[in-house]
Every structure is written in structure tokens, then in C-alpha cells.
């Protein structure tokens, strides 16, 4: 459960005047609650990430996830306090939490969608109780898109799409500089987009799809994308065939989104940024649908997109609060 300082790029304060801000005057949390892992990043008033911590093998219950987040947050807090002037403490005033599910417009409710996490406010409520501060939930890929916008391959672009492939699959859509979530929060849930040779409504990317492909190729049905790519990179021809099929499906989804959204670029994130996926997607789009002006980049953020995006949003909230108080 290590903690490590990580100086991020602070964002601008909102308001007509540039304020001189004490970095240690306010702190927030960016939290990434994945399927069996929790990551936490402690962010200061300037938007810099001051400490990070991670825990794996977390049970998939709201209470277990919330308790893990609280333990990690406390570890980060202690790490930062040890480097502050004597007598100064770290008080966390808000948390932004990335979660691999459809999150409602209230940012507290996980919507009940077949094939996704159980719906309701149980996770939000458990996190508020464990962390002792206001908590905002958001979809993990939406927050990964925020990270790309400010710290990754989306910098300088007002319209782009982050396509993330790891423990899950989805797209984070940024239009005119803002994340587009849709009326019900389901924008970017593209794992069920129609593909040639597949029934309408069939999952083409995600756990079920990978398990089916693995079974068809005599591979373990619980194999992950990470393990498949590792095997392919080490010369496993069967795994490479599966990776090639996954890359083809990603490319078809990218092409479909390109026709609808016409973004400046697509950013392939998490496992999709690795060469066996990224290079094949770029090649497929170039060779098969070259008529579409599709630009594809690999994210430089690795698997950190969701937690960094959550930390960025938490930092923005801190800065907005400081600017608001200064304007009174």
C-alpha cells in the first residue's frame, strides 16, 4: 500500500483575477474504484497530486470498497502531513470517485443496467460515511477522458474520444471541451455497438466477449486483456489471434463513432494503448476505412487515467471554492 508524491500540473483558478493560493490550504481526493482494486490520489489546492496509494484484492461490496478508500486516504494524508510544517494538518474537503458503471445525473446513483454493477446509492453512501466528506461519483472512462484532456493525449483538443480497454470497455466523449454524458449518463457505453457477424445487442467487447473468444481458442475463460497482450508479446500465436480480433472490434467501434461524432482524435487508453492493440487499430482504420479522417493516438497515462481524472476534478472543485470565497 505504498504512497508516492507526484507533482501534477495545477489548473488555473476561476475568476477575473489570478489568486495566489497556499497549496496546503485545501485538499481533495481522487478515487478509482475498480472491480477488485482501489486507488487514491490526494490533491492540493493548486491541483497537484501530493500522494497516491493503491490496494488490490478488495471485496466487491460498497462497504469493503469504501473502507479500503478510507484506509488509503489516511495513508496519503499521513504521508503529506509528515512533509508539512509542524502543526499543519491535512483535511480532505471533497472526493471524486471513478466507478466502472453508469452513473446518474445526480452523481450519487449507480443506474441499474443489465451486465453492469448493481444500481443504487449504496456505494456513494458508504464512501461518504467512510471518508467523512462530500462524494461525487462519475463513470471511470469519463474521468479518464478528463485526465487525457488536461494531462494526456487530449491536450490542446476541444473534441476527442477516449476509448479505454482494460477491466472494462467504454468511451469517454469530450465535445467542445466538456465531457458528454448524455441525458441518462449512458453516452460512451459502446461495448454493445453492432458489429458485422454479431447479433444486435450482443456484447462485442468486455468480460463476456473475451471469455467467449478465449473459450473458442482453448484459452482460460477468465483470462484478462492484460494477460492476452502479455502472451501475444511473448510469441503466443493463439493469444495474438485473439488480440487481433479484439483490435478489429475496437477499430470498428472507433470507425462507427467517427461517423457520428467526427472528433479531432481518438485516444486509446489503458490496455488499448499498448502496441498490439493500438498499432492494429491504426492499421485497420488506415487500410479499411481510409476515407474517414480518423486520427488515433495512444494514451501516455497507462492505467492511471481514471484516478488522475478524478483528482483533477476534485482539484478544480477546490479551486472554484477558493475563488468563490475570495470574491465575497
**Are 36 and 164 found together in one domain?**
no
Q: Which of 217, 272, 216 is nearest to 246 (CA)?
A: 272
**What is the domain extent for residue 131?**
23-143+304-327
**Are 216 and 309 found together in one domain?**
no
Q: Which carries the bigger pLDDT value, residue 144 or residue 167?
A: 144
Residue 1 included in any domain: no
Domain count, the chain: 2
What local confidence, expressed as pLDDT, does residue 204 receive?
86
Residue 2 included in any domain: no
- Given a contact cutoff of 8 angstroms between Cβ atoms, the answer to whether 143 and 98 are in contact is yes
DSSP 22: -
**Are 187 and 266 found together in one domain?**
yes
Residue 217 included in any domain: yes
Residue 211 included in any domain: yes
Res. 8: pLDDT tops 60:
no
**Are 44 and 123 found together in one domain?**
yes
What local confidence, expressed as pLDDT, does residue 5 receive?
45
**Are 293 and 308 found together in one domain?**
no
Number of H helices, E strands in the chain: 8, 10
Alpha-helical runs (H) found in the chain: 62-81, 122-131, 140-151, 207-216, 225-233, 237-261, 275-288, 305-327
Mind listing the pLDDT tens digit for each residue in 282-292? 999 998 887 77
Residue 12 included in any domain: no
Average pLDDT over residues 171-183: 94
Residue 4 included in any domain: no
Q: Which carries the bigger pLDDT value, residue 7 or residue 160?
A: 160
**Are 314 and 294 found together in one domain?**
no
**Are 180 and 43 found together in one domain?**
no
Res. 315: pLDDT tops 80:
yes
**Are 293 and 199 found together in one domain?**
yes
Residue 166 included in any domain: yes
Res. 256: pLDDT tops 50:
yes
Mind listing the pLDDT tens digit for each residue in 201-255? 788 898 888 999 999 999 998 999 999 999 999 999 999 999 999 999 999 999 9
Helix, strand or coil for residue 105? coil
Percent of the chain with pLDDT over 90: 67
Residue 186 included in any domain: yes
Res. 18: pLDDT tops 70:
no
Average pLDDT over residues 50-67: 94
Res. 323: pLDDT tops 90:
no
Average pLDDT over residues 251-280: 95
**Are 53 and 187 found together in one domain?**
no
Mind listing the pLDDT tens digit for each residue in 112-166? 766 566 789 999 999 999 999 999 999 999 999 999 999 999 999 999 999 999 8
Mean pLDDT of the chain: 88
Q: What is the pTM of this model?
A: 0.89
**Are 161 and 292 found together in one domain?**
yes
CATH number at residue 234: 3.30.420.40
What local confidence, expressed as pLDDT, does residue 117 receive?
66
**Are 74 and 106 found together in one domain?**
yes
> Of 33-47, 195-209, 308-322, where does mean pLDDT reach its minimum?
195-209
**Are 186 and 319 found together in one domain?**
no
Res. 1: pLDDT tops 60:
no
What are residue 9's phi and psi, to 5 degrees? -90, 115
Amino acid at each position: 500500500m505504498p504512497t508516492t508524491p507526484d507533482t501534477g500540473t495545477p489548473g488555473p483558478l476561476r475568476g477575473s483575477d489570478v489568486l495566489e493560493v497556499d497549496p496546503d490550504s485545501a485538499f481533495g481526493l481522487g478515487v478509482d474504484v475498480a472491480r477488485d482494486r482501489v486507488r487514491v490520489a490526494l490533491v492540493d489546492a493548486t491541483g497537484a497530486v501530493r500522494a497516491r496509494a493503491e490496494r488490490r484484492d478488495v471485496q466487491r461490496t460498497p462497504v469493503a470498497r469504501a473502507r479500503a478508500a478510507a484506509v488509503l486516504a489516511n495513508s496519503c494524508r499521513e504521508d503529506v502531513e509528515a512533509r508539512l510544517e509542524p502543526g499543519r494538518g491535512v483535511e480532505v474537503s471533497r472526493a471524486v470517485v471513478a466507478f466502472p458503471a453508469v452513473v446518474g445525473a445526480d452523481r450519487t446513483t449507480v443506474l441499474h443496467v443489465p451486465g453492469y454493477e448493481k444500481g443504487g446509492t449504496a456505494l456513494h453512501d458508504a464512501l461518504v460515511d467512510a471518508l467523512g466528506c462530500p462524494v461525487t461519483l462519475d463513470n471511470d472512462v469519463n474521468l479518464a477522458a478528463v485526465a487525457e484532456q488536461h494531462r494526456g493525449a487530449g491536450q490542446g483538443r476541444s473534441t476527442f474520444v477516449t476509448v479505454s480497454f482494460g477491466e472494462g470497455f467504454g468511451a469517454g466523449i469530450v465535445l467542445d471541451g466538456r465531457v458528454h454524458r448524455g441525458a441518462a449518463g449512458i453516452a460512451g457505453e459502446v461495448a454493445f455497438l453492432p458489429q458485422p457477424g454479431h447479433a444486435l445487442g450482443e456484447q462485442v467487447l468486455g468480460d463476456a466477449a473475451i471469455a467467449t473468444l478465449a473459450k473458442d481458442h482453448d484459452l482460460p475463460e477468465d483470462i484478462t486483456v492484460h494477460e492476452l497482450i502479455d502472451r501475444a508479446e511473448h510469441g503466443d500465436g493463439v493469444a495474438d489471434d485473439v488480440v487481433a480480433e479484439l483490435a478489429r472490434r475496437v477499430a470498428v467501434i472507433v470507425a462507427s463513432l467517427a461517423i457520428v461524432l467526427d472528433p479531432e482524435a481518438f485516444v486509446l487508453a489503458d490496455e488499448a494503448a499498448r502496441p498490439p492493440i493500438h498499432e492494429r487499430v491504426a492499421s485497420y482504420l488506415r487500410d479499411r476505412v481510409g476515407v474517414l479522417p480518423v486520427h488515433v493516438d495512444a494514451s501516455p497515462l497507462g492505467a492511471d487515467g481514471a484516478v488522475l481524472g478524478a483528482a483533477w476534478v476534485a482539484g478544480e472543485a477546490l479551486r472554484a471554492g477558493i475563488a468563490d470565497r475570495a470574491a465575497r
